[in-house]
């Protein structure tokens, strides 16, 4: 955090400009807009500890996680930075997925986040010569799609080696994120990268996590969705190797509890639909739906193709057709 602040006063020619109040305020508004709330909350609790903050004031609430993390510890000072980024990162965190604890499986990753009804935080620790911690905060629920979704409360960030937060330009809900697994395309690839993408375009996202978590990810400093800035160290290339990837459900206790309940309901509905697809009680109705075209298929397509021809007549009673030849 301090390194990020000092970089504000660095000039391109290698010289340094004294840090001004205006430069500090602009840096805080971009990266830690709730920084002022920390002092406000401290003073209020010191003097008016028996009274709640006025509704017009946003309190600072330290993020806490109650599960094992291979990136953070319970007293990690970096959690303070997250708490200053958005009120939605305050309070209780619930681990939804960990590459170390749950395995490096994209199916397990998907299973952990689909149906979860609250905001989530994805944190990636890279490996290699220039290690970094980066990721994305997603304000809206995930869904499988080869199209972008999400809202402008989401953002990308670099946490280490320096702090940088990159929010959607102009507050637009465009090209925020997508989740495009290969399992959605039973007939083969749709020509788009399979994995998780943020910003940029479908073919070249600003940040991309491949479906194979052992493959190289991609992170660019440029893009038209999020503000420009480095997600990886300046000396790094635009690719990275994932050492640890964690996804957390964030927010207060009530929000996390309801979001987990939403996920359980989603899984119940999914299991029910799969069961219904495998067990058809009325097979005659199923055959009628096939014949009528209600269920798309090629089995009875020949009947429709031949209707209306002078030399064909359909024998409905015997499920066949006859050909009149002279």
Q: Which two tokens stand for residue 294?
A: 């209600």
Predicted structure pTM score: 0.78
Q: Which two tokens stand for residue 240?
A: 């990275």
Q: How confident is the model at residue 315 (pLDDT cuts 50, 70, 90)?
A: low
Residue 204 backbone phi and psi in degrees, to 5:
-145, 85
DSSP string, 228-286: P--SS-TTS-SEEEEEEEEEEEES-HHHHHHHHHHHHHHHHHHHHHHHHHH--S-HHHH
> In the block, which residue shows the tokens 């702090």?
163
Cis peptide before 287 (omega within 30 of 0): no
Residues 271-311 have pLDDT tens digits of 888 777 776 655 566 566 656 655 555 555 555 555 555 55
* Residue 20 DSSP code: P
Residues 22-71 have pLDDT tens digits of 887 887 888 888 888 887 877 777 787 778 777 777 888 889 887 889 99
List strand residue ranges (DSSP E) for 128-250, in order: 133-138, 145-149, 155-160, 164-166, 177-180, 195-198, 207-210, 217-219, 239-250
* CB 232 within 8 Å of CB 158: yes
Residues 143-190 have pLDDT tens digits of 998 889 999 999 999 999 999 999 999 877 889 999 998 876 554 556
């Amino acid at each position: 955090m301090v390194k990020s602040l000092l970089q504000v006063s660095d000039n391109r020619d290698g010289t340094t400009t004294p840090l001004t109040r205006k430069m500090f305020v602009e840096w805080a508004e971009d990266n830690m807009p709730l920084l002022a709330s920390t002092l406000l909350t401290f003073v209020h609790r010191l003097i008016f500890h028996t009274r709640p903050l006025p509704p017009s004031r946003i309190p600072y609430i330290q993020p806490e996680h109650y599960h094992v993390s291979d990136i953070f510890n319970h007293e990690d000072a970096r959690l303070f930075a997250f708490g200053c980024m958005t009120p939605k990162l305050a309070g209780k965190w619930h681990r939804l997925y960990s590459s170390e604890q749950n395995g490096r499986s994209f199916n397990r990753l998907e299973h952990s986040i689909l149906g979860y009804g609250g905001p989530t935080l994805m944190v990636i620790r890279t490996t290699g010569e220039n290690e970094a911690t980066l990721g994305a905060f997603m304000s809206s629920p995930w869904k499988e799609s080869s199209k972008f979704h999400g809202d402008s409360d989401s953002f990308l960030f670099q946490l280490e080696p320096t702090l940088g937060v990159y929010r959607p330009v102009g507050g637009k809900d465009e090209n925020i994120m997508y989740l495009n697994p290969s399992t959605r395309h039973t007939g083969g690839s749709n020509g788009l990268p399979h994995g998780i993408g943020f910003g940029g375009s479908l073919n070249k996202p600003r940040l991309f996590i491949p479906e194979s978590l052992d493959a190289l990810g991609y992170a660019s400093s440029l893009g038209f969705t999020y503000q420009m800035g480095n997600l990886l160290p300046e000396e790094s290339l635009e690719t990275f190797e994932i050492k640890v990837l964690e996804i957390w459900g964030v927010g207060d206790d009530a929000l996390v509890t309801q979001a987990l309940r939403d996920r359980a309901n989603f899984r119940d509905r999914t299991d029910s639909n799969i069961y219904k697809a495998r067990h058809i009680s009325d097979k005659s109705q199923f055959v009628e739906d096939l014949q009528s075209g209600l269920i798309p298929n090629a089995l009875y397509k020949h009947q429709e193709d031949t209707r209306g021809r002078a030399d064909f007549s359909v024998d409905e009673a015997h499920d066949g057709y006859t050909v009149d030849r002279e």
